[in-house]
Structures are given as C-alpha cells and as structure tokens.
C-alpha cells in the first residue's frame, strides 16, 4: 500500500517553482535586460558633452537612466578605489586613471579625446591680459586648478614650459570652479580648458598661447571591474567612442584622436 503524503509535502514542489520564477525576475543589475541605471563618474570638463550623450543613450535604451557624478578626476578616482558604486570612469588625465587601474578597479582604458588649455578672461578683459607672461604680474588676480587635479597639472606644465611663475589668488578643486571665478569677476584670468571657455557661451573670452601645446591632456575611459551595470556600461562606452560621440566632442572643442 502507498502511504498518504501530508498536504504540505504535496504543495512544496509548487512553492519551490514559484520561488524559482520569482528569483529569476530579481537582481535587476545582473543582466542587461534588468539594468535600470548606469552610473558614470566623469571629469568636470565633460559635463556638457556627457550630459548630451547620456540623453542619447537613454533614448536608445528606454527604461534605463544614466546618472553622472562630475568632479575632479582625482577625487572621483579616490571615491572609486574606496568602493563607490560606479560603472564607468572617464578621467581628464592618464595619471588619474592610473589610480584606478593600479587598484585593479579597471583595466584597458582607452583615450577618447584630448584637451588643451586657454587663458580665460572676463568678456571685457579689464586687466588687459594678452599672453601667458601677463599672468606673472602681481596686479593680475589669477585662478588656477589645484596641482593634484588634471587641469592644475597641465597649468604647471605649461607655465614651466614658458618659464613663467604665477602666484594664484585661489586654487580650485576642478576646472568648472576655476572658470566660475572668472565668470563672477572675482579674478582677472584663469587657466582652464578650451572646451570650458566654449561652454561658457560668451561669459568669458579665451586666449590661446603656444605653450598650451606642451600640456595637452589625454582623456581615458574604462568600464570598471565591478560595474553593476555590466553590458549597458560597455554600451555607453561604445557610444562615447562612436562616430556620433566623436562629433559631439569635436563640436565642443575637444581634439578627437
């Protein structure tokens, strides 16, 4: 004779099956289909271009949001190595990307654009700055990026190449903050990226100088090793490297390799 099974035993296979189906639908970032966010850490000078590309990506991936953390590349690199949840890192210099790759948080970064410095002055140029040497005048109030961030390191290199010593009245933590000092009229001049002068839409005037060619910054990008977004993160990088991406960067004043 067969022994009658208790009711809970008969129901168990159905419960397990339902639980299994439920489990397949959870953990949204485990597969490309379930990813709802791509978190991108990017240099402050990429704010305009990456925001535009983020909208393009979202339009092509309904239901997915690209969230940006813009700031100093050095600060972002530190945040990533300390475990901040991020999928993509776009730095304003190889040195700041190296902080991340040395910590095994990313590998195989690719240079996607280059950028060079300009002297930014208020639209009326009240201090009559025309060349890099004018920044050495103690009467000229100058803002620079801090040396540990890419725009500051580039400024040090350019000033060294010109043999010019500048005593800034302020050192800022990223290029946007440095440019703001000029826009507000708090300084007479600053060394910032050409792309940031263009993005100011006439609020400041940019002055080229020959030594800028000796301080060009390469911008690398990489998908992070522990990127929760996985495939979509790689797809965002593909967009950055695409012809469409290059057109966006060229329009903003970046040099496209």
pLDDT digits (tens, 9 = 90+) for 120-159: 999 999 999 999 999 999 999 999 999 999 999 999 999 9
From the CB of residue 109, how many other CB atoms can be counted at a distance below 10 Å?
A: 21
Q: Could you give the residue range(s) of every CATH 3.40.190.120 domain in the chain?
A: 117-214
Q: Tens digit of pLDDT for each residue in 37-66?
A: 999 999 999 999 999 999 999 999 999 999
Any idea which fold 35-114+218-251 has? D-Maltodextrin-Binding Protein; domain 2 (3.40.190)
Any idea which fold 117-214 has? D-Maltodextrin-Binding Protein; domain 2 (3.40.190)
pLDDT at 35: 65
HEC string of the chain? CCCCCCHHHHHHHHHHHHHHHHHHCCCHHHCHHHCCEEEEEEEHHHHHHHHHHHHHHHHHCCCCEEEEEEECHHHHHHHHHCCCCCCEEECCCHHHHHHHHHCCCECCCEEEEEECEEEEEECCCCCCCCCHHHHHCCCCCEEEECCCCHHHHHHHHHHHHHCCCCCCCEEECCHHHHHHHHHCCCCCEEEEEHHHHHHCCCCEEEECCHHHHHCCEEEEEEEECCCCCCHHHHHHHHHHHCHHHHHHHHHCCCECC
Average pLDDT, the chain: 89
Q: Tens digit of pLDDT for each residue in 89-127?
A: 999 999 999 999 999 999 999 999 999 999 999 999 999
Q: Tens digit of pLDDT for each residue in 63-85?
A: 999 999 999 999 999 999 999 99
């Amino acid at each position: 004779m067969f022994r009658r099974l208790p009711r809970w035993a008969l129901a168990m296979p159905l419960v397990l099956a339902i639980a299994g189906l439920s489990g397949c639908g959870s953990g949204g970032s485990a597969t490309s289909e379930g990813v709802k966010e791509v978190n991108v850490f990017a240099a402050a000078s990429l704010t305009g271009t990456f925001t535009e590309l983020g909208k393009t990506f979202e339009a092509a991936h309904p239901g997915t949001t690209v969230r940006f953390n813009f700031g100093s590349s050095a600060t972002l690199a530190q945040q990533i190595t300390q475990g901040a949840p991020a999928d993509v890192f776009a730095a304003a210099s190889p040195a700041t990307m190296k902080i991340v790759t040395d910590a095994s948080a990313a590998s195989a970064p690719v240079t996607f654009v280059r950028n060079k410095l300009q002297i930014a002055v208020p639209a009326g140029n009240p201090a009559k700055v025309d060349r890099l040497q004018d920044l050495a005048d103690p009467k000229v109030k100058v803002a620079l990026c801090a040396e540990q961030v890419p725009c500051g390191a580039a400024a040090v290199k350019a000033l060294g190449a010109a043999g010019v010593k500048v005593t800034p009245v302020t050192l800022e933590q990223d290029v946007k903050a440095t440019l703001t000092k000029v826009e507000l009229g708090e300084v007479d001049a600053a060394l910032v990226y050409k792309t940031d002068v263009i993005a100011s839409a006439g609020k400041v005037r940019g002055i080229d100088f020959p030594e800028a060619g000796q301080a060009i910054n390469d911008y690398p990008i990489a998908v992070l090793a522990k990127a929760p977004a996985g495939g979509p993160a790689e797809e965002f990088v593909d967009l950055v490297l695409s012809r469409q991406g290059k057109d966006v960067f060229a329009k903003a004043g970046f040099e496209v390799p």
